[in-house]
Structure 1
Amino acid sequence: MRAEALRERRAEIGEFRRREVLVPVADGSLLSAEAGGIRWLFAFTERAALERFAEARGEAVPDWVPVHGARLLDQVIPSVDGPTGIAVDAGSPAGLVLPPVTGIVPDAVALDSEVAGA
């Protein structure tokens, strides 16, 4: 990854960590989907993005909880069974994918970490 692209990616991750996001809840659980062997939690930066997502799926807007990005990455993801990442503003042009890799999630649950592989 180019140095400039790497700096931009780190800035995006830092912004997500500091931000409060809306995490949809369905039947008492955080809304997620599985793709490629990874569980993806959904998080939205604004209610309008959550509403567009629900509309595109032909569903009512789910209940949601506000959570800081850092808490999702550092506390929630390690508590989920199996590799887990976050899909931010899914379905939006400005969407962002935070995969379960070193530098994004704790090393103990990062797919590319020696700690996780131990």
Structure 2
Amino acid sequence: MIAVVTTNGESQGGVAPQRRRPMRLADLADAVELPAMAEAKATESVEDREAAGRREFAVLLGEFRRTAVLVPIDPYGGLWTAEQGGVRWICAFSDEEALARFARAQGDAEREWEYRTVLGARLLDVMVPMLRVPAGVALDAGGDDGMLFPPVEGLVPESAVVDLGGAR
């Protein structure tokens, strides 16, 4: 299904499938931070804080993998990507409003943006390896709540993992 989003976030040209509004990753992170956890953080060791950070990221990653995100279509019919630091990033957005903000930030707010709805797991497990270059997913690029899913072990298939020169 291809839908079109205008810069005001309204769908046109196609009817977007009915789906529940995906939880924004920043909202999920805020929900994970309970008052008791905040008090415990004050007395945690560095190792405990690192372990807690890994658990929180695992929750965010799991939510991303289960969530349908919007991926704009570039002018040539492929997924919209950007290159930064030698990595090709598939740009994905949690909702039409985030995509519209991105369009405005790109200075390309006048045109309609086509997009596909894709599960986060499909982006990481199928689309990233298909690029055949170091690639990851940039969620809500340019937004305050943006997050990167880089081509590292545990996030993408082994065939797409970037060799960090023994730093793994």
Does TM, scored on the shorter chain, surpass 0.5? yes
State how far apart, in whole Å, the 2-side matches of 1:81 and 1:32 are: 13
User: Residues 69-96 of structure 1: CA distance to partner in whole angstroms, max 9, x if unpaired?
Assistant: 0111111111112010110001111111
| One-letter amino acid of the structure 2 residue matched with residue 33 of structure 1 | A
> How many residue pairs get matched?
114
Report the counterpart of residue 122 of structure 2 in structure 1. 71
Structure 2 segments unaligned to the other structure (5+ residues)? 1-46
Report the counterpart of residue 20 of structure 1 in structure 2. 68
Shift of 1:64: 0.2
Report the counterpart of residue 32 of structure 1 in structure 2. 81
What TM-score does the superposition give when structure 1 sets the normalisation length?
0.91
User: Residues 3-57 of structure 1: CA distance to partner in whole angstroms, max 9, x if unpaired?
Assistant: 0000011111111000000000012011111111100010000000000000011
| One-letter amino acid of the structure 1 residue matched with residue 71 of structure 2 | V
Q: Aligned residues: percent identity? A: 45
SS at 1:12 equivalent:
helix
SS at 2:70 equivalent:
strand
Q: Please, what is the CA RMSD of the aligned residues?
A: 1.6
Q: Which has the larger radius of gyration?
A: 2
State how far apart, in whole Å, the 2-side matches of 1:11 and 1:23 are: 22
State how far apart, in whole Å, the 2-side matches of 1:13 and 1:112 are: 21
| One-letter amino acid of the structure 2 residue matched with residue 31 of structure 1 | W
Match of 1:108 among 159, 162, 168: 159
What TM-score does the superposition give when structure 2 sets the normalisation length?
0.65
SS at 1:74 equivalent:
helix
CA separation of 1:3 and 1:112: change in aligned 2, threshold 3 A: farther
| One-letter amino acid of the structure 2 residue matched with residue 63 of structure 1 | E
Report the counterpart of residue 94 of structure 1 in structure 2. 145
